[in-house]
C-alpha cells in the first residue's frame, strides 16, 4: 500500500537514511526499547499522530513506535525545523506517513496538522500542544477515539495546564517534559549546545570575549548561559524570578534588566517561554551589529514585527541571518527569523539527549495503552518508575556502574532515632 505523505521529495531519502542511522548510534535507550517493542508489540493496532520536529532523532522514535505495532503519522511542530531528507527516508525506507516540508507556510503547517489528525488517532504526541489545541477547537469529533496524549516541551505543558485549569481538558495528557530524565538533560545540555551551534552556524561569530545576553534562567537558559560561558563569553542574564536570578548571580553571571543589558550585548538569546522579551525600546539601545536569536519554543519572544516596522531596510546576509537597518543608522541582525535558532539554523539537540526524552515518549505511550481506563482528564507526570528506568538504561549503555547502599546505610536512612 502506498504510504500517504506530503514532503519535499522522495529523492532525498538516501541522504536521510544515513543521518537516521548515524543518530541511532547515539540513542541506545531507544534501541533497547525498539528491540523489546519488536518482540512484545505493546502498541499493536494503536494509531499515533505525532507533531514533533522532523529530525533524525524524531525518526528513531517513530521507528520505535512502529516496531511496537503502532501505525504512525508525523507532521512538523515548527515550519523551519523539518529535515527534508529525513522526512523522505521515513516515508520511503520505513513506511511512515510524514506531512512536513522545511519552510512551509502557516496554511500548509495547519493542513499537515489536520492530515495527521485525519487518521483518527488513539494517541497524539505534541511538541508545543498544537495538536491538542486543534482537537479542542476545530476537531472535537476526535475526542471519543482518543485515549490520551503526550507533551514534549515546557511551553506545551504550560498551555495544557492552563487548559486543565480552565476545566476544559478533554483527555489525559502525560507531561513528558517534566520527567527528570527529560528536562534536566534535554533542556539544559541539549538546548545549551544546539543553541550555541545555531548561533555559530548562522553567524560564524567568535563567541570568546563577546557579551552574550541570555533572557531567562530556566533549564534552557541555564544550559545556554553555561555553554556560552564555556566558549569564553561574558554572560549577562535577565530574569523576572528572584530565585532564578539569585542562582544566576551565584553561578557567576551578571544579572540586570533588559533595559540595561540592551546596550551591552553582542549576542542576545531569548529562552523565557514568554512573549515580547526583546522589543523596539531594546532594539533602539542595541549596538551596531547586535545579533538577536530566540531558542524558546514559539517565535513570540522577539518582536519581529516591531523590528520590521522600525527598519529602514532589510537584507539577507547569509542563510538564517537578516540585517535590519534602523533609522539611527545601527544594524541589528536577526537569526532564523526569530524562530528556534537551534533547529532553524542548526540540527536541534544531539541524539545522546533526545535518547532519554524520546524514551519517555515511547514508554509514556505504552503507559497510556496499559492505564488509560484509570486515568482522568488531567495533566499527569511521567511515572517515577519510568523516569528511573530510563536513567538506569542510559547509565548501562554508557558502561557506568553505581554503588549500592549497605544494609547499615538502608537502616540509617529509614530511622529517625539516630542523631548526635
- The edge-to-edge listing of strands for the beta sheet with 311-318 is 254-255, 234-238, 211-215, 267-270, 290-294, 331-335, 321-326, 311-318
- Which one, 7 or 326, has the nearer CB to ligand ADE? 7
Output the smallest distance, CB 23 to ligand ADE, in A: 8
Judged by CB under 6 A, the residue of 26, 34, 55, 272 near ligand ADE is: 55
| Stretch touching ligand ADE by CB under 6 A, among 25-33, 54-62, 280-288, 330-338 | 54-62
Nearer to ligand ADE, 335 or 354 (CB): 354
| Residue 335 burial by Cβ neighbours in a 10 Å radius (0-12, 13-18, 19+) | buried
Residue 60 in the binding site for ligand ADE (CB under 6 A): no
Could you give the CA distance from residue 50 to residue 38 in angstroms, rounded to a whole number? 20
58 is an interface residue for ligand ADE by CB under 6 A: yes
354 binds ligand ADE (CB under 6 A): yes
How many residues touch ligand ADE under the rule CB under 6 A: the total is 9
Minimum distance from residue 412 beta carbon to ligand ADE (Å): 42
CB of residue 143 to ligand ADE, shortest distance in Å:
26
Up-side HSE of residue 162: CA atoms within 13 Å toward CB? 10
Alpha helices in 231-279 (DSSP H): 242-250, 258-261
Nearest residue (CB) to ligand ADE, 13 versus 354: 354
Work out how close the CB of 126 gets to ligand ADE at its nearest, in angstroms, rounded to a whole number. Answer: 12
Q: How many whole angstroms separate alpha carbon 33 and alpha carbon 68? A: 9
B/e letters for 287-311, b = 16+ CB within 10 Å, e = fewer, are: eeebbbbbbbbbbbbbbbebbeebb
Q: Using alpha carbons only, give the angle 228, 230, 232 rounded to the nearest 5 degrees.
A: 75
In sequence order, the 6+-apart residues with CB closer than 8 A to the CB of 370 are: 42
Q: Does 355 bind ligand ADE (CB under 6 A)?
A: no
Q: Choose one: 51-59, 208-216, 361-369, 396-404; the region binding ligand ADE (CB under 6 A).
A: 51-59
349 binds ligand ADE (CB under 6 A): yes
Site residues (vs ligand ADE, CB under 6 A)? 52-53, 55, 57-58, 190, 348-349, 354
Amino acid at each position: 500500500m502506498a504510504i500517504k505523505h506530503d514532503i519535499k521529495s522522495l529523492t532525498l531519502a538516501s541522504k536521510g537514511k544515513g543521518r537516521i542511522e548515524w543518530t541511532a548510534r547515539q540513542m541506545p535507550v531507544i534501541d533497547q526499547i525498539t528491540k523489546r517493542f519488536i518482540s512484545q508489540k505493546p502498541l499493536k493496532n494503536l494509531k499515533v499522530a505525532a507533531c514533533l520536529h522532523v529530525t533524525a532523532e524524531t525518526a528513531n522514535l517513530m521507528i520505535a513506535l512502529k516496531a511496537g505495532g503502532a501505525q504512525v503519522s508525523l507532521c512538523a511542530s515548527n515550519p523551519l525545523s523539518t529535515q527534508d531528507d529525513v522526512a523522505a527516508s521515513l516515508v520511503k525506507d520505513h513506511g511512515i506517513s510524514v506531512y512536513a516540508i522545511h519552510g512551509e507556510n502557516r496554511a500548509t503547517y495547519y493542513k499537515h496538522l489536520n492530515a495527521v489528525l485525519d487518521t483518527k488517532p488513539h494517541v497524539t504526541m505534541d511538541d508545543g500542544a498544537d495538536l491538542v489545541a486543534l482537537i479542542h477547537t476545530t476537531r472535537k469529533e476526535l475526542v471519543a477515539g482518543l485515549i490520551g496524549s503526550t507533551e514534549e516541551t515546557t511551553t506545551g505543558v504550560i498551555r495544557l495546564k492552563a487548559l486543565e485549569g480552565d476545566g476544559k481538558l478533554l483527555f489525559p495528557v502525560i507531561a513528558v517534559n517534566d520527567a527528570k530524565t527529560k528536562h534536566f538533560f534535554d533542556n539544559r545540555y541539549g538546548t545549551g549546545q544546539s543553541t550555541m551551534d545555531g548561533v555559530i552556524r548562522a553567524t560564524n561569530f567568535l563567541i570568546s570575549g563577546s557579551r552574550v545576553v541570555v533572557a531567562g534562567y530556566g533549564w534552557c537558559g541555564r544550559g545556554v548561559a553555561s555553554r556560552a560561558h564555556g566558549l569564553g563569553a561574558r554572560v549577562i542574564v535577565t530574569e523576572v524570578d528572584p530565585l532564578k536570578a539569585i542562582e544566576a548571580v551565584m553561578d557567576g553571571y551578571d544579572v540586570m534588566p533588559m533595559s540595561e543589558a540592551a546596550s551591552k550585548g553582542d549576542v542576545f538569546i531569548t529562552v523565557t517561554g514568554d512573549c515580547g522579551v526583546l522589543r523596539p525600546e531594546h532594539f533602539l539601545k542595541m549596538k551596531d551589529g547586535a545579533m538577536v536569536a530566540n531558542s524558546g519554543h514559539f517565535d513570540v519572544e522577539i518582536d519581529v514585527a516591531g523590528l520590521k516596522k522600525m527598519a529602514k531596510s532589510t537584507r539577507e546576509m547569509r542563510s538564517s541571518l537578516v540585517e535590519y537597518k534602523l533609522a539611527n543608522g545601527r544594524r541589528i541582525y536577526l537569526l532564523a527569523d526569530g524562530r528556534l535558532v537551534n533547529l532553524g539554523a542548526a540540527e536541534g539537540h544531539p541524539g545522546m539527549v533526545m535518547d532519554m526524552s524520546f524514551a519517555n515518549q515511547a514508554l509514556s505511550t505504552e503507559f497510556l495503552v496499559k492505564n488509560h481506563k484509570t486515568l482522568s482528564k488531567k495533566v499527569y507526570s511521567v511515572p517515577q518508575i519510568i523516569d528511573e528506568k530510563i536513567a538506569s538504561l542510559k547509565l548501562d549503555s554508557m558502561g557506568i556502574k553505581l554503588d549500592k547502599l549497605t544494609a547499615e546505610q538502608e537502616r540509617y536512612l529509614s530511622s529517625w532515632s539516630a542523631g548526635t
